[in-house]
A and B are shown apart, each in its own frame.
Chain A
């Protein structure tokens, strides 16, 4: 199993990533040296109790925040050495984002929102239209293309958000609690689609979640505790149900916010 992964190309390689907050005298280290390698086509879930540094890790890897120390390579580029303008361009061209609260621009229609990342004119209109049709069909949102965010449901909003994350054909998609605001039916539908996209189009996905059900859709789950990697689980050939049970076990040992609810 490991063999099949190493034979693939590494998309993201984080080495000894550290992140501290606060000023002198009151420094809090949230990430304490993370080493992580994500291969092309992987669907990685990041789990851990509140305060473990999940979102911080995602932000740092996704170039939204800067690491205090360590190196991060995405597709061979060392993002920790890039300037702000370079990072912006990098995010626009190589990364996709899905947020918990969708972050759609309420002044734009679903289609306009989706086309935003390729709106600076580098992609020709014909090509953009083709990509849009392609993705909208996969995500099942062709009907709502000309509706405004306030006219569609949460699930549809998150699908729109996902479509926006995929339109620029990113090397990697980062998702921060994408199902956090959805009911379980919409959540599993979305996750199913994400897994589908991951498998069929080979899109690499990294998803932060505290929900064991959500992470059971991933091909690998990384557990964080106190800013360090605690353990990892690979799904391999297991059914999703079996993988879910494995995740629950680790989570039980780890202790965390969602343990009591199950």
Chain B
């Protein structure tokens, strides 16, 4: 019998062991191939032509994908090799030398990998269309989508996976050459036996783990100061270290306390959960930590990018409360209006007067990290009634008081204490405004108008009379707000607006802020749609990889404990009794990383919520819920596998 025959025979006999590794390979190939295909797809390239972000985002994500796929495959291969170590030992026992065994494994690996590549690319061709449609839907592309068969994508996939497969081959050779026969035969019996922890040291470390995480959370909520970058690093280090300590020490310590308190009366459920978990805590600490941290990162990434996508419309509205706006030029606004009428678009056009003045803030109103804000700033005083006519609802307080708006300072404004005073220092007479409320976003489209103070109309007229508006750079600025009655006509109107005569100045250059709401929204959807797609894609890969790793590990554990289940059933425990204990164990194995990961990501999102002006509770909850749901599927698969094992045990 040649070596090749032996390979074929062993592969046929061991399908059960192989399919796990095979699945991991195929899965990685499919996802990478889909990604590569999208990168080369003509529709994507066309849409991407509009922004550089597209291609660079794809490149970064592609790199990350290779990284994850590499780790996942190497990990699956490690589990696969461990399960087969007895077989590898047996070959050597019956006289094959290490070189021959290594050759045997390499032939096997090549056959498997070639098969996985073929199948993976095949499935990839089938599913890439689905992903393409999804991406194009997310970025609002309405052209015809035809999927072209991309040889470049195939080539790229093959190159990447040949490299990864070389890595696993090295891993296999290493296993054969570095292990003694004895260790090969005992590999599946390994498992530590819980020792009595050094009570004092363990207790301290156990509490330190919890302390570090709490400190990280606290710091994440209080890191907005001049040391922001340093704080971010500190948060990361302390939560990751804390997570590791939780899995490595705190849990074992707690289990040990529970167990010793029971004095041997552990009960069946605890025997199958705590007993089994303590038996392998050391080996599992690393992977559980990695899975928790990865889950937290993925969750934060997903929730963050989904929130961006979800709130694109709202955030665009905050900076562009009116659909279109013209500065000073009444004629241009009228011309635009005529053109809209010609196209059958209904709209309102209102003049809004801005009293543009200079002023100062009360001392220390702004948070420390904003730097000293004690200089002179531009303010625009606006009448609430004029705004209301233009379709912007705002309730202005009584005389002497004002509502302040400015989306550029949204972050700082979240941290300001009300009420405070603004001094308009125009001419001889200072005038104080008491700011009683902070509004969200802008009240007019232009960002160059400074802090907007909304006052009630009567007061506005009084100010207009009294303020020296013709001197010291103060003035009355008229803007014209054009708002459509029918949202569906925004796109057509935006097209009309994009003509050079509306947005360019005399020299043919774009005005600094001459854009409209819809263009801004479209741009946001493109960027955020791409972001959510890539985040979702990577998130899915992360999720399935971590889920699979947990599943594979539990599969191995189930097989190692099969004899225990047989014994328990002989002792008279039903499958149901045993499964109760196993479910308790799985709630820990799957539940704890998920729970801690969720908690981490909640705090991460909270810390990052200053990026948003809108409330992101809903998108965050949806993203996290979806993640948890898919994750739980793996827990169910695992429990199913255990049930099968327990049932077959007797």
Which residues of A line the B interface, CB within 8 A? 64, 84-85, 88-93, 95, 97, 99, 103-109, 111-112, 114-117, 119-121, 125, 128-129, 132, 145-146, 148, 150-151, 164
Contact = CB atoms under 8 A, between A and B. Distances in A.
A168 B265 CA distance: 14
A-B pairs with lowest CB-CB distance, top 8: A92-B572, A91-B572, A111-B264, A103-B567, A107-B275, A107-B279, A88-B574, A119-B268
Interface string B254-266: 0000000001111
A114 B549 CA distance: 34
Given A105-B564, A106-B191, A119-B271, A132 B571 contact: no
Nearest to A86: B574
Interface in B177-213: 191, 193-194
Contacts of B268: 116, 119-120
Contacts of A148: 193-194
A115 B566 CA distance: 17
A146 B264 contact: yes
Given A115-B265, A115-B266, A148-B193, A108 B271 contact: yes
B265 A128 contact: yes
Contacts of B266: 108, 112, 115, 119
A89 B573 CA distance: 7
Contacts of B569: 88
A120 B279 contact: no
A119 B570 contact: no
B374 interface: no
A17 to B, nearest CB: 19
Interface residues of B, number: 28
A183 to B, nearest CB: 22
Interface in B494-520: none
Interface in B557-599: 561, 563-564, 566-574, 577
11 contacts: A84-B574, A92-B572, A99-B570, A103-B563, A103-B570, A107-B561, A112-B264, A115-B266, A119-B266, A120-B577, A129-B263
B328 interface: no
A97 B267 CA distance: 19
A108 B275 contact: yes
Interface centre among A89, A90, A106 (most CB of B within 10 A): A106
A153 B374 CA distance: 81
Contacts of B265: 115, 119, 125, 128-129
Contacts of A116: 268, 271, 568, 571
A97 B650 CA distance: 14
Contact of B567 (A84, A105, A111): A105
A97 B563 CA distance: 15
Contacts of B564: 105-107
B333 interface: no
Contacts of A108: 266, 271, 275
B570 A97 contact: yes
B97 to A, nearest CB: 33
Contacts of B571: 91-92, 97, 116-117, 164
Contacts of A106: 191, 193, 279, 564
B271 A150 contact: no
B223 to A, nearest CB: 43
A100 B301 CA distance: 55
B164 interface: no
Contacts of B650: 64
B574 to A, nearest CB: 4
A112 B275 contact: yes
A121 B266 CA distance: 10
B556 to A, nearest CB: 15
B145 to A, nearest CB: 55
B24 interface: no
Given A107-B564, A120-B577, A93 B264 contact: no
B425 interface: no
Nearest to B577: A120
B128 to A, nearest CB: 46
A85 B194 CA distance: 34
A93 B571 CA distance: 9
Contacts of A145: 264
A168 to B, nearest CB: 9
Given A105-B567, A107-B279, A119-B266, A93 B572 contact: yes
Contact of A117 (B193, B275, B279, B572): B572
B481 to A, nearest CB: 73
Contacts of B574: 84-85, 88-89
Given A107-B279, A111-B264, A128-B265, A92 B573 contact: yes
Interface string B262-292: 0111111001000110110000000000000
Contact of A132 (B194, B264, B567): B264
A101 to B, nearest CB: 9
Interface centre among A95, A112, A148 (most CB of B within 10 A): A112
Contacts of B275: 105, 107-108, 112
Given A64-B650, A84-B574, A99-B570, 10 more contacts: A91-B570, A91-B571, A91-B572, A92-B572, A97-B571, A105-B564, A107-B278, A108-B275, A132-B264, A151-B193
Nearest to B566: A103
Given A107-B279, A108-B271, A150-B193, A115 B264 contact: yes
Contacts of A64: 570, 650
Contacts of A99: 567, 570
